[in-house]
Homo-oligomer: A and B are copies of this chain.
Amino acid sequence: MSRNETAFLFDLDGTLVDSVYQHVLAWKESLGDEGVHLSVWRIHRRIGMSGGLFANMLLRETGIEITEDRLERLFRGHAAAYARLAANEAVRPLPGARELLGYLTDSGIPWAIATSGRMETAAHNLAALGVDPGKVPVVTRDQVRHAKPDPDLFITAAKRLDCDIGKALVIGDSIWDMLAAQRARALGVGMLCGGYGQHELEQAGAFRVYEDPADLLKRIDEIVARS
């Protein structure tokens, strides 16, 4: 029997940390090195989904052959380019992210993080947010079978909190978060700070859209009763 409480299940990149555009250009560079020239906005619209699905969509659209070797080079190229683009404190927590998490903790509202990224890339972002993965549930790509837009990451996060996913809020910046929220029967809350438009998030199922964590915190009564 899980706790009868509303849990906040957060995406990480683009929702709590301002890192989407660096990820986008890092993928562009890594794909370009493989001779795949996708328009940058198309990469932007795929960010946040599972890397495997990302590769499959590429395969369908560009017709190049996806081999294990090529995938491995793509992921390694992305990681190297991202590390360069995100160096020197170029990637920061989004406005209000630390305050929002602090408010939830102080109010006793359960929260967790669920990201399509892997722990080694998430670790830097968690440190910037002041989140200790020893104390807060952090579910990463390597811990579930399917990443977003499948619901596994958020369902696992709710289980770790011992909360009912059907009462949870999924906070994310991409349509993959919103689709995963619907598939998990959670409520999706969209964030503009990842660069999607409001209507795109609403069309994917967001029941409310905020600019960024600071905006959500200011109007949090709209989505959960203040304790």
Contacts and interface: CB of A to CB of B under 8 A. Distances in A.
Interface of A: 18, 20-22, 24-25, 28-29, 32, 37, 39-41, 44, 85, 90, 92, 94-95, 192-200, 212
A103 to B, nearest CB: 19
Given A28-B90, A199-B200, 8 more contacts: A18-B39, A22-B25, A25-B85, A39-B95, A41-B192, A41-B193, A197-B197, A197-B198
For chain A, what secondary structure do more than half of its interface residues adopt (helix, strand, loop), or is it mixed? helix
A94 B40 CA distance: 9
A22 B193 CA distance: 18
- Give the oligomeric copy count: 2
Contacts of A29: 90
Given A196-B197, A200-B199, A40 B25 contact: no
Interface centre among A25, A39, A44, A200 (most CB of B within 10 A): A39
A96 to B, nearest CB: 10
